[in-house]
Amino acid sequence: MNNKKLGNLGQYLGTLGALLILGIILTIASDKFLTFSNLMSVLKQTSFTALLSTGMLLCLITAGIDLSVGANATFCACVLGMLVKNGTTNPVLLIIVALIAGTVIGIINGSLLTRLHLPHPFVSTLGMKNFLWGAALLVTGSQMISGFPKGVMALGSVTVGGFPVSFIVVIIIYVIMHIVLTRTAFGRSIYCAGGNPEATRLSGINSANVLTMCYAISGFMAGLAGIVSIGRSGICNGANAIQPYDTDAIASCVLGGASFMGGKGTMIGTMMGALIIATLRNGFTLLSIDSAVQNMVLGLVIILAVLLDVMREQSAARARRKEAAKAAK
């Protein structure tokens, strides 16, 4: 087993250990945590975060970021709300519209970076987040809309034996994306674009197309997450566009081993990171912890995860220097 695989295994075990410790603490703190209904609730929460994290992971691997994923999901839900309010009830049409809307936003994000050459996706996606927040309020008239057809609600509300269908969909998507990242030329080009841009150029890979595709996938996943959110709550609300959904997605990826430096991250690690964030959120609710404290704790979790990532990078750099010194002797 090579050093990279050992490193990934160590990262997985560390993230899994953190999830288990968190579960033990919450089991002791609340007798409601380790119940079937509550665990299924955790999986429902994980579904939404995991879908947003899928696209976020691709962006982070390319050394980018997508701060608009949460607002994009809310905007797509609000577009459906506007259509339903105006008499559209065909669930297939509504779902297609949401997915197209999310994907188009993702393509715009990618194009701002690769075609218009904005300095960093932090700038463009933060601007897009605020634009979509206003657009979501505009299309709904700043009102909450309900009355969605069952076909749209199904993805976020239907269960099989109590097990949420949304999480089954997430598992299928994660398996597919794991294969794409580890077994295809496109997956290798994503890691290459983030880890070694110069090698990407010399290899003849069109990095602009790769980056645009990553942001398009992120937008598509945001659209899918928006549909799931409708099934979970039964409403759309433009005010939710400002909620820290993108922060949860970033935290999930970084906890799972992704790096802001680019070139790192796996679907397995991201799934475990999403489970940790959803479990934390669930624990906060069970223990009736103030929302201000919740945000403080999640902020500290992100800072700690980034600090650990920086320490790993520094350790790896020292190891490379030692190897180079030995080879030079």
Annotated domain spans of the chain: 44-242
Helix axes 69-85, 91-114, angle to 10 degrees: 140
Whole-angstrom distance, CA of residue 254 vs CA of residue 223: 22
Q: What share of the chain is helix, strand, coil (3-state, %, to 5)?
A: 80, 0, 20
Q: For residue 218, what pLDDT band results from cuts at 50, 70 and 90?
A: very high
Q: What is the mean pLDDT of residues 180-187?
A: 94
In angstroms, what CA-CA distances link 236 with 5, 83, 128, 308?
43, 12, 19, 37
Q: For residue 324, what pLDDT band results from cuts at 50, 70 and 90?
A: confident
Whole-angstrom distance, CA of residue 52 vs CA of residue 285: 21
Whether 6 has a pLDDT exceeding 70, the answer reads no
Whole-angstrom distance, CA of residue 329 vs CA of residue 323: 10
**Which two structure tokens, joined as six digits, stand for 127?**
């601007």
Question: What long-range pairs does 91-98 form, CB within 8 A, spacing at least 24?
Answer: 91/149, 91/150, 91/151, 91/152, 91/154, 92/151, 94/148, 94/149, 94/151, 94/152, 95/151, 95/152, 95/227, 98/223, 98/224, 98/226, 98/227
Report pLDDT for 201: 73
| DSSP letters spanning 291-306 | HHHHHHHHHHHHHHHH
Q: For residue 303, what pLDDT band results from cuts at 50, 70 and 90?
A: confident
Residue 149 DSSP label? -
Q: Give this prediction's pTM.
A: 0.92
Residue with tokens 């809307």: 101
Q: Write the pLDDT tens digit of every residue in 120-164.
A: 899 999 999 999 999 999 999 999 999 999 999 999 999 998 899
Whether 165 has a pLDDT exceeding 90, the answer reads yes
Q: Write the pLDDT tens digit of every residue in 93-130.
A: 999 999 999 999 999 999 999 999 888 899 999 999 99
| DSSP letters spanning 207-241 | HHHHHHHHHHHHHHHHHHHHHHHHHHHSSB-GGGG
Given a contact cutoff of 8 angstroms between Cβ atoms, the answer to whether 99 and 220 are in contact is yes
Whole-angstrom distance, CA of residue 153 vs CA of residue 245: 20
Residue 242 DSSP label? G
Report pLDDT for 7: 56
257: left (phi over 0), alpha (psi -120 to 50) or beta: left
